[in-house]
């Protein structure tokens, strides 16, 4: 039986080590290499794990960031990627609290007391996971 493979995408971390903290920092260098992407496309490329990626864009990223493919893409066994996601590793924007969207897990506020938020409140507020100040 063959092993099932998955991958982790480390573009944001590699950008940070190169002093690039904004997704729009890639727009100019990509444009210089003949790749025209909108700011929302670049944002998704940095923040989310791409399912499909053109080799032209990949080569441009490697050139811009002066890194190897192993720095951007880490192969992992499919089971470990699922376990990491279930443990809350790599939760994206749009989650509310540590349990993800719609979670009813208790969270801690800044004072250290336990609170309970419903996922419905998070979605209606549109706060993208930022805790709302309690009064």
Least confident of 24-33, 49-58, 80-89: 80-89
Asked whether residue 69 is assigned to any structural domain, the reply reads yes
Percentage of the residues of the chain whose pLDDT score is greater than 70: 57
Instruction: Check pLDDT > 70 for residue 25.
Output: yes
Whether residues 55 and 15 fall in one domain = yes
Q: Which residue has the higher pLDDT, 14 or 5?
A: 14
pLDDT averaged over the chain? 77
Q: Which residue has the higher pLDDT, 67 or 113?
A: 67
Whether residues 99 and 81 fall in one domain = no
Percentage of the residues of the chain whose pLDDT score is greater than 90: 53
Region 93-116: mean pLDDT is 56
pLDDT at position 78, please?
82
Asked whether residue 135 is assigned to any structural domain, the reply reads no
User: What is the C-alpha to C-alpha distance for residues 96 and 73, in angstroms, rounded to an integer?
Assistant: 27
pLDDT at position 77, please?
87
Residue spans of alpha helices (H) in the chain: 11-17, 27-32, 39-47, 55-65, 69-72, 78-86, 119-125
120 pLDDT band (50/70/90 cuts)? very low
Residue linked to tokens 């690039």: 20
What tens digit of pLDDT does each residue of 31-50 get?
A: 999 999 999 999 999 999 99
pLDDT at position 95, please?
47
Query: Which of 53, 59, 84, 61 minimizes the C-alpha distance to 12?
Result: 61
Whether residues 43 and 59 fall in one domain = yes
Which range marks the domain in which residue 42 is found? 5-86
Asked whether residue 39 is assigned to any structural domain, the reply reads yes
User: What is the C-alpha to C-alpha distance for residues 96 and 118, in angstroms, rounded to an integer?
Assistant: 9
**What CATH number has the domain bearing residue 36?**
1.10.260
């Amino acid at each position: 039986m063959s092993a099932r493979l998955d991958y982790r995408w480390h573009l944001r971390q590699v950008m940070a080590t190169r002093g690039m903290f904004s997704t729009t920092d890639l727009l100019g260098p990509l444009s210089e290499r003949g790749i025209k992407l909108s700011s929302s496309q670049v944002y998704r490329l940095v923040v989310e794990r791409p399912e499909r990626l053109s080799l032209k864009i990949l080569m441009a990223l490697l050139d811009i960031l002066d890194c190897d493919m192993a720095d951007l893409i880490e192969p992992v066994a499919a089971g470990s990627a699922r376990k990491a996601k279930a443990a809350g590793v790599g939760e994206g924007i749009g989650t509310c609290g540590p349990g993800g969207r719609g979670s009813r897990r208790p969270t801690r506020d800044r004072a250290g007391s336990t609170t309970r938020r419903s996922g419905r409140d998070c979605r209606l507020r549109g706060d993208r996971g930022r805790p709302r100040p309690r009064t």
